[in-house]
Amino acid sequence: MNTKKLVLCAMFAALTCVLAPIAIPMPGGVPVTLATFSVMLAGCLLGPGAGTLSQLIYLLIGMAGVPVFSGMRGGIGVLAGMTGGYLIGYLLLSAVSGAVYRLYCRKVKGGSVWLRRAVLMLAMICGTVCLYVFGTAWFMIVTGNTLAVSLTACVLPFLPGDLIKMILVAILVPVLSKRIQI
């Protein structure tokens, strides 16, 4: 990995550190944050390796006690709590989004911007499904809630916001990748 990619990893870790603490509490206990925007952007723009590394750095910063998790919390105890599966799931979201995007972009090289954005959306949907599965399973184990209760608390309220984030990332990635020449 070259210096440019390492700097970009650090920048995306910092972006997640800034966006994640801004949280809107939800009745189910899992807050709405802008963190997934940063995670998807990192995975799709930097690729699965560097994008995931940026989120690992974010998690390590939070585990060290810096208040970068939702609601200005930090520490390893947050990862053991009901939202810990979603935090760890950021690694999956970034890796899967980046891998699917890279895989299909090679196949549609030279395709239209709209085709590339459709591939981006597909990549982020795949990554988000992995995030939801892992995070919701963790939530169910920690809280003892049923699947129906957990989906109602942890997935359904987040779908519209995640769709908006995906659209924004799909708009930004083609523009940013040209500007930073990755």
Query: In residues, how long is the chain?
Result: 182
- Assess whether pLDDT exceeds 90 at residue 130: yes
Domains by residue range for the chain, with CATH:
3-180 (1.10.1760.20)
Q: What is the mean pLDDT of the chain?
A: 94
- pLDDT score at 106: 66
- What's the pLDDT tens digit per position in 49-104? 999 999 999 999 999 999 999 999 999 999 999 999 999 999 999 999 999 999 88
